[in-house]
Homo-oligomer: A and B are copies of this chain.
Amino acid sequence: MEEYDEKDLRDCKELIEPYIHYTPVLSSRLINEIIGAKVYFKCENFQRSGAYKMRGATHAILKLSPDQRAKGVVTHSSGNFAQALALAAQSLGVTAYIAMPSDAPVVKKSAVINYGGKIVECEPNLDARKATAAKVASETGASFLHPSNDRDVILGQGTACMEFLEDYPELDFIFVPVGGGGLIAGTALASHFFSKGAKVIGTEPYEVDDAYRSFHSGRIETNLTTNTIADGLKTVLGDRTLPIILRLVDRIIRVEEEEIVSAMRLIWERMKIVVEPSSAVALAGLIRTTEDYKNSTIGVILSGGNVDLSKLPF
């Protein structure tokens, strides 16, 4: 893996602080009883743009030179990174181009537009999205920023865990969902440098268990299908995220779709907060393996709260 040190993370945190929220940590007596442990939830659903992605997006833009910033940034995403990059760019006076598939839901397009992002439509497949982003980059000179497989993005995502450890230094385990791996890689780095030995545990739907397979094979695995409600976790690991995960992550747990919905319902009903299915995957993983974590102190990163209220699974 690439070299990272404490200072990289500290500098990142200081740099992005003015542009992001220091998010609160919540807990629930009932959930503590169900798990048989002290469980703390880091609420990145309350982060600006509604997800932790704001951290990495802000950091990646701030690390660009003034010349680069003047030419804008571009990414391909139809999810939370698209919204986060649009909002981070708007906050910093930078133009953000987002390559989005023509069939992306209107609600996702509107969110990007509301944050001032410029949507460039393309065919609904990953190759077309990559090609479109590359074309925009070459035509405008905009800097391409990958949603997860990017050093500055990974560092930015790690700041959620740094805040978490400032508030709860005694965590034994930290549960996070795994999609492209930016959040778990950043969390693993932050835990490595700043925790008292907290183990980082990834959670993933069975339907897209590429990270589980990659964790065991040591190379980037892909998914043949992506039939999961956790739409933020359909992407696969990259050559920057996988090595960190292999080196610093303790375990990856897979969960069934019903377990995701049931964990999501538990969070909504008991904690009275709106989280997206991808966030519920972390709690679902913990509930599934609760016997392994009795009486410990556990952190769960609730990654985001962007859901389409017209399409709830309840």
Whether A45 sits at the interface, judged by CB under 8 Å, is yes
Tell me which residues from 240 to 277 in chain A have a Cβ below 8 Å from any Cβ of chain B. 265, 268-269, 272-275
Q: Is the CB of B268 within 8 A of A309?
A: yes
Asked whether, in the complex, the Cβ of A45 is within 8 Å of the Cβ of B272, the reply is: yes
Task: Identify A309's interface contact among B50, B265, B275, B305, CB under 8 A.
Answer: B265
- Find chain B residues with CB under 8 A from A272 CB: 45-46, 50, 273-275, 305
Q: Is A310 an interface residue (CB 8 A)?
A: yes
- Kindly name the residue among A26, A272, A275 whose own CB sees the greatest number of chain B CB atoms within 10 A: A272
Q: How many residues on the A side are at the interface (Cβ–Cβ under 8 A)?
A: 17
From B265, B275, B312, contact of A312 by CB (8 A): B312
Q: How far is the CB of A21 from chain B (nearest CB, A)?
A: 10
- In the assembled complex, the CB of A210 is this many whole angstroms from the nearest CB of chain B, namely 28
The interface residues of chain B lying within 8 Å CB-to-CB of A273 are 272-274
For residue A45, give the distance in angstroms from its CB to the closest CB of chain B. Answer: 5
Task: Tell me, in angstroms, the Cα distance from A186 to B278 when the chains sit together.
Answer: 41
Tell me the nearest residue of chain B to A43, going by C-beta.
B272
User: Which of A46, A265, A309 has the most chain B CB within a 10 Å cutoff?
Assistant: A309
Q: Which residues of B are found within 8 Å of A275, using beta-carbon distances?
A: 272
Q: Interface readout for A109-124 with B: 1 if CB under 8 Å, 0 if not?
A: 0000000000000000
* B305 near A310: Cβ-Cβ < 8 Å: no
> Is the C-beta of A24 less than 8 angstroms from some C-beta in chain B?
yes
Nearest B residue (CB) for A114:
B30
**Contact flags A283-313 to B (C-beta < 8 A → 1, else 0):** 0000000000000000000000100011010
CA distance A275 to B46 in the complex (A): 15
Q: Whole-angstrom distance from the CB of A266 to the nearest CB of chain B?
A: 11
A269, A312, A314: residue with the most chain B Cβ atoms closer than 10 Å: A269
* Bitwise interface map of A from 17 to 34 toward B, beta carbon under 8 Å scored 1, else 0: 000000010100000000
Asked if residues B305 and A314 are in contact (CB atoms below 8 Å), the reply is no
Q: Which of A50, A265, A275, A305 has the most CB of B within 10 A?
A: A305
Partner of A314, one of B26, B45, B268, B312: B312
Residues of chain B contacted by A46 (CB below 8 angstroms):
26, 272
In angstroms, Cα B168 to Cα A273, docked, is 23
Chain B residues lying within 8 Å of A305, measured Cβ to Cβ, are 272
Interchain nearest-CB distance for A168 vs B (Å): 17
* 22 residue pairs bridging A and B, Cβ less than 8 Å apart: A24-B24, A26-B46, A45-B272, A46-B272, A50-B272, A265-B309, A268-B274, A268-B309, A269-B274, A269-B309, A272-B273, A272-B274, A272-B275, A272-B305, A273-B273, A273-B274, A274-B274, A309-B312, A309-B314, A310-B314, A312-B312, A312-B314
Beyond A272-B274, A310-B314, 8 extra complex contacts between A and B, CB < 8 Å: A26-B46, A45-B272, A50-B272, A269-B274, A272-B273, A273-B273, A273-B274, A309-B312
The 6 closest A-B CB pairs, nearest first, are A272-B305, A309-B314, A272-B274, A45-B272, A268-B274, A273-B273
